[in-house]
Structure 1
Amino acid sequence: MKLRRTLCAAFVAVSALPHAFAQNVAANVALPFYGPPAFMQGVHKQWYGPRSAEFSAHAQALTQGIKAVCQAAPGSESTALAQARETWKDTTLAWEKLVAVAIGPLIERRSLRQIDFMPTRPELIERAIRTAPADARAMERIGTPAKGLPALEWLLWTKPITPASPACRYAQMVVAEVQTEAQALASGFAALAARDWSEDEEAAVAPMSEFVNQWVGGLERLRWANMEKPLRAATTQGGTRKPPAYNRTASGLTAQAWAAEWEGVSALAAFRAGNVPQPGQDLVPIETYLRGRGLNPLASKLADTVRQTDAAMKGLTTAQNDRVLGAGRALSAVKRLAEAEVAPALEVNIGFSDADGD
């Protein structure tokens, strides 16, 4: 994969940009040229660093929430369970935003598989509970389909844990693994955020190319794996269509998870609001990166396509089958534009990562 390396500096007057971009900045401010170092510095410092820290904090709170359920006094079990459920939701939504475009430590550690393997296997969860793993080494022998956030969803909603039960003790082991992985991700992204990418421009080329590939992969994972595939796979029996087997169904979090995932993908794609991003300090979305290189028509096309998808995703629920398919078409339009025009403009070859489908 190759990304164009340009050593010159360039500035584009913001007053010449479309109103949707220019309205958020002063008319006499110039848009700087952005290179791969500025791009990688921005995404790590302003997106992955904060998002991974947020996920880690929620995972820690979830650990305490599960512990509270397991130690709940008679009469307080339902309150503790309700609080743990809300904390699980917060943790999962933070995770969805972080993993929407999986790069760096998320790929290297295969975190999607470790934290969010789906579908979960209830029979394997029940077998693991009977096995009663006592420590981290014992948990290594438990398969990933019986662990992670999906397993905790099953233990909090489908067959809720009760205080001092074997299932509760297993839930504590599962959430401890999630917290450990979350801390490792936060540490990994903090190190990348602290790195001065401007010291070696070539070193930022491959990571940016990986990012663009994973951004396209994130669009497709949301569109197909999480939205369209379950809907299209629902079968008809006796004239009645079975409900789609969407992820997060037990907790009722499916639509919110879609929205969080789209937030992660779109925030990295298009400029939202604020001042002109400064190289080395601010998040530089793909649209803004293109504008900094004078590719305004393509940047505007990307921004418009993202806005159309915003509208398609807004207020979407799992009960709106036609709207789900419409949102899928909107997501597909962003993906096609990315593959056909955005990636070539950046001289990035779109490939396939074996981490995409975990």
Structure 2
Amino acid sequence: MKRYFLGLSIACASVVAQAEPSVPDAVWSQAWLDAAYLPRHTVLTQSADALMRSVDLVCAQTNAHNLEQARQTWLATSKAWRALDAAPAGPMVLERIGRKIDFRPTRPDDIEVAIQTGDVSNAATRGLPAIEYLLWGNAQPKAQLAKLKQPARCAYLSKTAQQVASHAHFLDQPWQTYRIELGAENPFFRENLLSEHINLLLSSMGSLQKRMPTADGVKPEQFAEWRSGSSHAQFMAQVGGMNLALQAVVQRLRAEGSAQLADQVSVEMQQVQKRCESLPQNLAQSAAKARMACHQAITDLRARVQVQVGEKLDLTLGFTEGDGD
């Protein structure tokens, strides 16, 4: 059986490991996976399948209605990916699935060359960002219908959507394998579960901070998913996925007798939700002060988790730039 230990590179930046870190039992570990991860994976695979079908319909009947349906299924798939990538775990980290589904930055010039050759092997010219470009262009949605009537262009779009669905489903069996490993008699995977889970949450919080610039005079291109105008919705999908995965940490703190710390983490997560949700849908039109409030709420939560939660659960926490996906 393939072993899905993440093998994270841990930086000893803030918390010193203790002799006996908290180790969840098999029932708790599998319940955590069932509640926070497998449902998000299911939503992603179902959305990706729908995207593949809707894109095929665009290529079969290239009209405005079908193009709008494809755009809506892309939005659903991208948000499903954001929610899952908000707190990666298990096989999706080992398989580096993010580089296959969500390679950034988008490279329009390279995509245009790839369309002409039909070559979808280059990670830089495929995935959800490439599909966004093909459906919206550089924020020029009205111009794309005529372009997609070009057979080579629509064929490339179809192949790329098929790849996204294939990569999503690639993890169907590995997730089940990881679940079995968490329930095995050997506690190896459970011993590493909390440190890996929380380190990846910290990495996700850092990603959110990078996605929310705080300077004055920002441009639309500074925000991910600016082409589709969905930057805020995608950002909040990532916040929601992070919040869901964070509940396991809160639950664990309560089980360890740290209800006050658990409450503090919950309150700070609520602040992230509140301050970031209040931003306008067009993030480029948001005030720097409002973006700073969102950014600071994430910073506060991240510091609480990295220092106090790590100390309470006797974990070594801290990320280097090379950690995660």
Task: Judging by fraction of residues, say which structure has more helix.
Answer: 2
Equivalent position of 2:286 in the other structure: 320
RMSD, aligned CA: 2.2
CA contact (8 A) 1:62 1:175 kept: yes
Alignment of 1:1-358 (within 5 A): 4-5=20-21, 35=24, 37-72=26-61, 77-133=63-119, 139-140=120-121, 142=122, 144-158=123-137, 160=144, 161-163=147-149, 165-194=151-180, 197=183, 199-223=185-209, 225-228=210-213, 231-232=214-215, 242-270=219-247, 285-317=248-280, 318=283, 319-321=285-287, 322-352=289-319, 356=323, 358=325
Give the unaligned 5+ runs of structure 2. 1-9, 11-16, 138-142
Instruction: Read off the aligned partner of 1:49 and give its amino acid letter.
Output: L
Q: Tell which structure's C-alpha radius of gyration is larger.
A: 1
Contact 2:306–2:318 (CA<8 Å) still a contact in 1? no
Rounded to whole Å, the distance in 2 between the matches of 1:302 and 1:155 is 40
1:1-55 Cα shifts (integer Å, max 9, x gaps): 768456xxxxxxxxxxxxxxxxxxxxxxxxxxx8253443123212211111110
Q: Hey, what's the Cα distance between the residues in 2 that align with 1:69 and 1:62?
A: 11
Where 2:257 maps in the other structure, the secondary structure is coil
Indicate conservation of the 8 Å contact 1:71/1:163, yes or no: no
Residues 95 and 355 of structure 1: CA distance in aligned 2, closer, same or farther (over 3 Å): farther
1:357 Cα offset (Å): 6.4
SS of residue matched to 1:348: coil
Q: Which amino acid in structure 1 is aligned with residue 99 of structure 2?
A: R
Task: Tell me by how many angstroms 1:264 deviates.
Answer: 0.8
Letter of the structure 2 residue corresponding to residue 311 of structure 1: K
Instruction: Answer yes or no: is the 8 Å Cα contact 1:5–1:35 preserved in 2.
Output: no
User: Which amino acid letter does the alignment assign opposite residue 286 of structure 2?
Assistant: Q
Q: Deviations over 1:45-67 (max 9, x none)?
A: 12211111110111111111111
User: Aligned with 1:268: secondary structure?
Assistant: helix
Letter in 2 for 1:320: S
TM-fit CA distance, 1:109: 1.2
Cα distance in 2 for partners of 1:244, 1:63 equals 27
Please report how far the alpha carbon of residue 115 of structure 1 lies from its aligned counterpart in structure 2 after TM superposition: 0.7
Retained in 2: the 8 A contact 1:98–1:264? yes
Q: Deviations over 1:207-263 (max 9, x none)?
A: 32111100111111111x2112xx54x7x6xxxx64452011111111011111000
- Measured at CA, do residues 155 and 356 of structure 1 come closer, stay the same or move farther in structure 2, by a change above 3 Å? farther
- TM-score in terms of structure 1 length: 0.77
SS of structure 1 residue aligned to 2:222: coil
